[in-house]
């Protein structure tokens, strides 16, 4: 993923006339923080990469996953810089994580890891410096613990040191659905620009965690799309007539959604108009890109398509709505949460969604006006704000 992100940046930077020195400087993170967290006799590597703060404080999530490593965190921090610039919000790029699997761990163990992570970074994060948020295997409750630890040490009481908090700790309404809602807005604007009727679209969704679930639920309810396939890590449920998600919940996305059960990778081969990638990075490469039947791919995961596969899909006439635009809803509402905390305000969900819609529309429509493949347009648009 890091290589693909850097290749996209180099391509966009060359088109903008950047020198090799300027590109090399941009690709290098401004700060890298690495330390160990202990849990009894176990030790876990912890990371925070602060890539670029040209536009504002570093911004990016924290993930707990056994496969977290420096390359992954650096790639995600770099993409956050591009994403914030593409969304035109005053934030920079950062990312963090702990090489720790929270599954089958006690609440006390997860709390200990969370507090140690906050303590390890207390001198290099803060409301005007670096504002972390939840990501893979972290959530509002874990962020609340980190906020509590940070505030105990620093005395800060704005709650603006982290975003993605629970409402009780100063979180924002609309945050849970924000990334999925942003993806729906991105697809809606793409269709509007290309005179496509959303209620005619057949959509397959890979990944039914928070992002994929809320995208599917909202797109079906508000755009009238037909969800013909839904996949998690274990299975793909397929129904050419459409899956009914009206009774589905985030913790039970297949509830009363009747369909045939196929292997989990069958979703990539589904006969559909739009393939939504909302699971993991690097799921489409040169070896399997030919399996994609959709004419539109919506990237809701970070870096789900390799650079080479992206080029091959474009050559086949497949339109890609890139991650740095499509999944920007999460960081936009994180920014809006931070604003509310700094200004001691609490906005309604309607107000948050309205501001999200306006920011997403502005970014997507500006990218589409360039009459380039959208990923190239988004990266050029972002880099033009970062030199």
**Residues classed as catalytic:** 95
- The two structure tokens encoding residue 27: 């690709």
Q: Is 73 exposed, middle or buried (0-12, 13-18, 19+ CB in 10 A)?
A: buried
Distance between CA atoms of 26 and 9, rounded to whole angstroms? 9
**Is the distance from CB of 235 to CB of 262 less than 8 angstroms?**
yes
* C-alpha distances in Å from residue 149, one per residue of 44, 129, 144, 157, 177: 19, 17, 9, 11, 26
Q: How far is 20 from 27, CA to CA, in rounded Å?
A: 11
State the Cα–Cα distance between residues 336 and 387, nearest whole angstrom. 25
How far is residue 65 from each of residues 51, 200, 326, measured CA to CA in Å? 21, 38, 24
Residue 168 tokens, joined: 């009780």
Q: How far is it, in rounded angstroms, from Cα 153 to Cα 26?
A: 33
Secondary structure (3-state) at 95: strand
Distance between CA 334 and CA 119 in Å, rounded? Answer: 22
Residue 227 in tokens = 């969800």
How big is the chain, counted in residues?
A: 387
**Cβ atoms of residues 257 and 248 within 8 Å:** yes
Containing H/E element for 130? strand 130-134
Give the number of other Cβ atoms within 10 Å of residue 106's Cβ. 9
DSSP secondary structure, 207-243, as one string = --SHHHHHHHHHIIIII--EEEEEE-SS-EEE-TT--
Q: What angle do CA 69, 97, 106 make, to 5 degrees?
A: 115
């Amino acid at each position: 993923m890091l290589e693909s992100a850097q290749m996209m940046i180099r391509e966009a930077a060359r088109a903008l006339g950047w020198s090799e020195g300027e590109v090399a400087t941009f690709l290098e993170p401004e700060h890298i923080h690495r330390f160990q967290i202990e849990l009894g006799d176990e030790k876990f590597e912890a990371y925070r990469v602060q890539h670029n703060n040209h536009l504002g404080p570093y911004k990016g999530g924290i993930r707990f996953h056994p496969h977290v490593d420096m390359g992954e965190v650096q790639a995600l921090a770099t993409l956050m810089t591009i994403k914030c610039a593409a969304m035109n919000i005053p934030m920079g790029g950062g990312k963090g994580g702990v090489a720790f699997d929270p599954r089958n761990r006690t609440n006390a163990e997860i709390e200990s890891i969370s507090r140690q992570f906050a303590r390890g970074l207390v001198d290099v994060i803060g409301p005007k410096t670096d504002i972390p948020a939840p990501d893979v295997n972290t959530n509002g409750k874990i962020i609340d613990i980190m906020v509590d630890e940070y505030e105990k040490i620093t005395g800060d009481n704005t709650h603006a040191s982290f975003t993605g908090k629970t409402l009780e700790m100063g979180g924002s309404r609309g945050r849970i659905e924000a990334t999925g809602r942003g993806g729906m807005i991105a697809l809606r604007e793409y269709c509007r620009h290309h005179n496509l009727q959303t209620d005619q679209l057949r959509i397959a969704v890979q990944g039914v965690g928070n992002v994929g679930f809320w995208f599917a639920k909202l797109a079906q309810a508000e755009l009238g799309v037909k969800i013909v396939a839904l996949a998690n890590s274990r299975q793909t449920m397929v129904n050419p007539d459409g899956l009914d998600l009206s009774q589905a919940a985030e913790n039970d996305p297949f509830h009363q959604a009747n369909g045939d059960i196929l292997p989990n990778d069958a979703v990539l081969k589904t006969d559909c108009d739009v393939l939504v990638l909302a699971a993991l990075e690097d799921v489409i490469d040169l070896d399997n890109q030919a399996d994609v039947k959709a004419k539109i791919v919506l990237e809701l995961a970070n870096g789900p398509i390799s650079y080479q596969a992206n080029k091959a899909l474009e050559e086949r006439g497949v339109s890609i709505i890139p991650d740095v635009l499509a999944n920007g809803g999460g960081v936009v509402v994180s920014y809006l949460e931070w604003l509310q905390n700094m200004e001691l305000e609490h906005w309604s969900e309607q107000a948050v969604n309205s501001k999200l819609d306006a920011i997403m529309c502005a970014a997507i429509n500006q990218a589409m006006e360039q009459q380039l493949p959208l990923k190239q347009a988004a990266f050029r648009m972002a880099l033009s704000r970062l030199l």
